[in-house]
Amino acid sequence: MPKEARPGSGEQAKQYALERLRKAIMQGEMAPAQRLMENELAEQYGVTRASMRAALLEITSEGLVERIRNRGSRVRVVTLAEAVEITECRMALEGLCAAKAAEVATDAQLDELTGIGEAMAKAVADGDPVTYSELNHDLHALIRDISGQHTAVGLLERLNAQLVRHRFQLALRPGRPQQSLSEHLAVIKAIRARDPQAAEAAVRAHLSSVLGALRAD
């Protein structure tokens, strides 16, 4: 949004600041434990301090930010134990979305899934874990979008936002992208076959592997 179009105050400004904060945290632009200075963020996003304060309160309720007594706000640090619990929850919800996607995907959507799978394979072949991590995120997001399961999608977006650091660290672990690639391709294959049970099982197998990798830390 151009600077001149930024809302300065009110509910619109709060929502604008909230969306910018959420995106910055989810994309890893703000590091875990990073202090969030209300006045600096208000100036950066072109909103009032009151609007920024309201945005910080709301994003705190989403679990992305935490309030430290007498010290303000910071990006919440997600422990390994929490990351495991979140991934266990993801297993049920992502499995549901994959099953739904297998039922309703159009031919064009199936081709899009295939294209991401091919790009992931290229990233692995090129030794590019950063691109692979981004494509990993894109694949799961597309499956959720195809599923049309809005309740599950909303829950997953909040859960996944808390796993940015752990997901990126896994992508950088030697050998992990190669292992993960075959798991993702199995998910794509099951959805292309329009087999809901196989799609759900493939997602659960993939996330079981993620759990194993997390616990190995």
What is the reported pLDDT for 217?
Answer: 65
Supply the pTM of this predicted model. 0.72
Those residues of the chain that have pLDDT short of 70 are: 1-9, 27, 164-165, 167-168, 171-172, 217
Domains of the chain with CATH codes: 3-75 (1.10.10.10), 80-215 (1.20.120.530)
Could you please report the per-residue DSSP string of 41-52?
A: HHHHHT--HHHH
What is the reported pLDDT for 180?
Answer: 92
Decide: residue 126, CB within 10 A, 0-12 exposed, 13-18 middle, 19+ buried: exposed
What is the reported pLDDT for 168?
Answer: 63
What is the reported pLDDT for 6?
Answer: 63
Are the C-beta atoms of 16 and 6 separated by less than 8 Å?
Answer: yes
